Chains A and B, each alone.
Chain A
Amino acid sequence: MGDLAAEKHAKYILLVEKRKDDVESVLMEHLRINGAYWGLTTLDILGKLEAVEQEKVVPWVMSCQHQSGGFGGNEGHDPHLLYTLSAIQILALFDKIEVLDIDKVSSYIASLQNEDGSFSGDIWGEIDTRFSYVAICSLALLHRLDRINVEKAVKYIISCKNLDGGFGCTPGAESHAGQIFCCIGALAIMGSLHYVDKDLLGWWLCERQVKSGGLNGRPEKLPDVCYSWWVLSSLIMIDRVHWIDKEKLVKFILDCQDIEKGGISDRPDDAVDVFHTYFGVAGLSLLEYPGLKAIDPAYALPVDVVNRIFLR
């Protein structure tokens, strides 16, 4: 099995940050701010955040802000809730939330709540529970949850609850681990987990663990390292994580490493990327793998960062 090649992964992330001229990097430019959040949080969990020059990152993050107050995926790109959360999370890592005009950002986010409590991702109106999570997590980190109608937000999320106990992107949509994470995370942040049938959902989630020890995102699909985060953090938030075999999952994640070049892939022997490197390392942290900083399952930020924001 081997161990976590922490040094290699840190080096890989720093390398990816600089790499700009291959097809892959260009095709990811539209979500560079997400990538930055994945890379930087991973570095923090590995205890290597100081390797990054804060003075370069923070101004770049701010350059992604649009005049509406929201953030785009990169400089000059249109704003969207998905990128706005990453911006706030990156600033939280560096304890620099104060550089924001908090009211301006909060107004942008709050403006995207609809009458039924749902959230649109941007002014073009796509509705998805992912955006509910992103909005609620963002506003909570900014201490501005009072800017939205929390009761309606909860109601909408509950309307997306399915008969198997899981959640989908919109009412009636199939349960999917990613959506479940978003809904459970949002409900957790809003203190509303009592609406969740923990036993029913817990069983659906624990059945994501397949023979290889990895987790899939829904029944009869292939396992993928990113579900180590979404399924795992959901199980932790509803206190049912003991229903999976943690050791087998650790082994699966470690098997997905590229021990030579660094980075983690979706499945063993596939190509690595920052996305899966983050979810693999974050998953290992949730599994209490030694030597890693603890990560909060709802805010997806290191616990010391979250405590700094809420328990002052």
Chain B
Amino acid sequence: MHGRPRKSATPVDENASALKAAKIRSLQSQFLQNHHNKIYTKEALEINAKLIEVNPEFMTAWNYRKLAFEHSLSSQSEAEKGDSDHIKSIIDEELRVVENALRKNFKSYGAWHHRKWVVSKGNSSTERELRLLNLFQKQDTRNFHAWNYRRFIAGMKSISEEKELQFTTDMINDNFSNYSAWHNRSVLLSHLLEKKVEGYFPKETFLTEEYEFVRNAVFTDPDDQSGWFYHLWLLDQTIKLDMPILASFWPPPGSDLNVPIDLDANKATFPVILYFNEPVEGVSSQTITVQTEYDIHDNITWSPLSTNKFGCALAWVTHMRIPHEELDSSKTYQVKISSEHSQGITSLSGVSLNRPWSFAFTVSVCQHLQPAEGQSLGRLSLTDENFCTIDTNLNMTALLKSAFQFTNDDEQPTSSKWKSEIIASEISQYRELLSWAECKIGKLTLARLLVAYDAMITGTQFTPSIAEEVLQLLTELMKLDPPHYQYYKDEYSLILLKQVTSSKESLLKYCWQYKESTSLNITGPTCLRLNSLSLSRIGSIEQLLWVQSLDLSHNQLHSIEGLEALQLLSCLNLSHNKLGSFMALDPLRFLKSLRILDISHNEIGAHTVDTKRYLCSSPLSHKVAFDKNFEEFANGDAKVMDFWEPFSIFGGLNLIQLDIMGNAAVDERFVLFLVKLLPALKWLNGEELH
């Protein structure tokens, strides 16, 4: 099926083929007859062996041999049972048949599995198996069947991991371009590290040598990918933390929250957001302690901000409620969030967040009378005329300031020193390589090293010169490697946002103040305007938990993954982007505070392929059953049944202003559906609803 040249068959070819085909078919039907009648004579086995030689992929033929084998063993005479040579000869015959088949097709699943099955019965020679492997692995160093079989033999015969490691060293020295050997090396080293074998633990012990080993490979042939992928693993091993951490949270420590009263519901609530560096599970009132000065009447529940049903997420939220009896008081309450019993919070790979953490802030109820949401509200426009530069005296700068105070000092000093030294050394090595080789993965590797180094030294700040160098490398890569342009673009967007959010000064450049004050109780006094930055992806979410009003319009976003953590968001502009489906808006379903949304001029409905289909809540991925609520809402209207996706996203939101024009999916029918779905909606596509 692979690698055969295209040519027209001549009549001679066709004739020969027909003759051969007839022979094979005859073998096949004879074999099947024997198989169905359970005939395992020597002649029958020979027919089977001939067939397997011609067609080693015929699974039923291999099954027959196993049945024949079992039959041989069970129908042995007493004399034969005691004779180890007899059993050995049966096994040898099977191994011979497999070897024959492998010589014809060394990628035959059936052949390799049969060998494994036979060898598992015992009575096999390690030497013979390793000899066979050496033969095939020399023929094709990337034959993964052989590598898998090798792992099987090594396991079965207890060949040490260090010995196998030496084998990969030999293979790599023979030919650097052996991804399979590099891969096996990473597996073996991980096992040795995990088992804390001397010489391989802690990881620093072997990493330095490995960096040198792979450097030889990539310096010899910079265009071969194999070494570069291995280097990425080494870097990841170097910088990865040994447990999950709390990366960010809201409210900031030491802040003073002034919570407005929701007049319609007659309550005052505020969110507490926990943002980890990787998805975790187990965040609950058992693992998180909340201490306040007022009586918490209801149980505190923490919700994961993700769409899977397994209860794990990067960001978690709880909505704390100030009790009814405290609503007319002007008292200030202390709140402390802490986690002492962190054993319960674990990463997806089961590592516990063992280090305790805590933060505290104060809360008071806002006694000024606010206009009720939506009441006598003009339509909010988010264009330039409605903003002015920020007043530096504004309270918000205090909020920004505290967001940057939180640092992570979880590192041992010695370990930290080794890490930054080795990365610094790698940086200079690869800068040297790039001075004589125009190598794309080399540039990407240097960019990754620089980012890792900076994170190590400065935390969330981003040294401007390093940021510039990384952005420059990515720009060069977009030109050097056009097919992967979008990959580099996404990386560029992430780095740009890292730069923007790296300090109070840089962030303030993008903060604008609303001129009009009528809607401030919804939007907050300021808007973070990240429009027209060619952003294809959003990131640095942990630095943006404080944002109430966000403008991401006129970018190239095809995904808003991460936005679900911005629980304070009440006003969001996503117009003029590349959001390609309703499911791309899935993160919005978690933004219960969202009131004003602009998703006009995107690509919703313009694509036949939905790349978010399996990442979001959907009956297709068995995350959620087909919504009964939706069936009721649709009320038998077959046309409305098409709208289950927007129903699942917008159904839970309390929007008062929505703009959706300029999307292929939006027609009159859809607009009517939306109006029915969103009872609080006052403004739709620029027009007031009545």
> Interface residues, chain A, CB within 8 Å of chain B?
21-27, 29-31, 72-73, 76-78, 80, 122, 124-126, 128, 140, 145, 162-164, 168-170, 172-176, 188-195, 202-204, 206-207, 209, 213, 218-221, 224, 236-239, 241-245, 248, 258, 265-267, 269-273, 275-276, 285-286, 288, 294, 296-298, 303, 306, 310-312
Contact = CB atoms under 8 A, between A and B. Distances in A.
Contact of B611 (A25, A239, A269): A239
Contacts of A286: 609
Nearest to A307: B620
A174 B607 contact: no
B133 to A, nearest CB: 15
A221 B142 contact: yes
B224 to A, nearest CB: 6
B6 A175 contact: no
Contact of B186 (A163, A193, A244, A298): A163
5 contacts: A169-B144, A173-B151, A174-B147, A188-B614, A192-B310
Contacts of A168: 144, 148
Contact of A30 (B4, B59, B232, B561): B59
Contacts of B183: 162-164, 174-175
A188 B558 contact: no
A191 B55 contact: no
A121 B670 CA distance: 47
B32 A76 contact: yes
Instruction: Return the 4 tightest CB-CB contacts between A and B, nearest first.
Output: A245-B483, A188-B614, A191-B623, A191-B621
A29 B28 contact: yes
Contact of A245 (B14, B62, B147, B485): B485
A310 B619 contact: yes
Given A269-B5, A288-B609, A163 B59 contact: no
B180 interface: yes
Nearest to B229: A164
B66 interface: yes
Contacts of B310: 192, 194
A125 B490 contact: no
Interface of B: 1-7, 9, 14, 17-18, 20-22, 24-25, 28, 32, 36, 54-55, 57-60, 62-63, 66, 109, 113, 116-117, 142, 144, 147-148, 151, 177, 179-180, 183-184, 186-187, 190, 224-226, 229, 232-233, 236, 279, 306, 308-310, 312, 348, 482-487, 490, 558-559, 561, 607-609, 611-615, 619-623, 626, 644
B486 A243 contact: yes
B190 A163 contact: yes
Contact of B66 (A124, A173, A269): A124
A23 B621 CA distance: 42
Nearest to A25: B21
Given A78-B60, A248-B483, A310 B229 contact: no
Given A21-B18, A124-B117, A209-B483, 8 more contacts: A78-B60, A174-B179, A191-B623, A193-B614, A269-B5, A270-B5, A294-B609, A298-B621
Contacts of B28: 26, 29
Given A206-B487, A221-B142, A27 B622 contact: no
B226 A219 contact: yes
Given A78-B63, A176-B144, A194-B310, A30 B5 contact: no
B308 A194 contact: yes
Contact of B2 (A21, A224, A306): A224
A214 to B, nearest CB: 11
A173 B148 contact: yes
Q: Which among B3, B117, B612 has the greatest number of chain A C-beta atoms within 10 A?
A: B3
Contact of A298 (B66, B226, B609, B620): B620
B483 A213 contact: yes
Q: Which among B36, B232, B309, B609 has the greatest number of chain A C-beta atoms within 10 A?
A: B609
A181 B465 CA distance: 41
Given A145-B622, A194-B306, A239 B559 contact: yes
A3 to B, nearest CB: 18
Contacts of B487: 202-203, 206, 243
A220 B226 contact: yes
B308 A311 contact: no
A182 B106 CA distance: 22
B59 A172 contact: no
Contacts of B148: 168-170, 173
Contact of A311 (B59, B66, B619): B619
B582 to A, nearest CB: 14
Contact of A173 (B55, B147, B226, B558): B147
A304 B183 CA distance: 40
A136 to B, nearest CB: 10
B59 A265 contact: no
Nearest to A290: B608
Contact of A27 (B24, B36, B63, B109): B24
B183 to A, nearest CB: 5
Contacts of B20: 23
Contact of A26 (B24, B485, B626): B24
A73 B279 contact: no
A312 B28 CA distance: 44
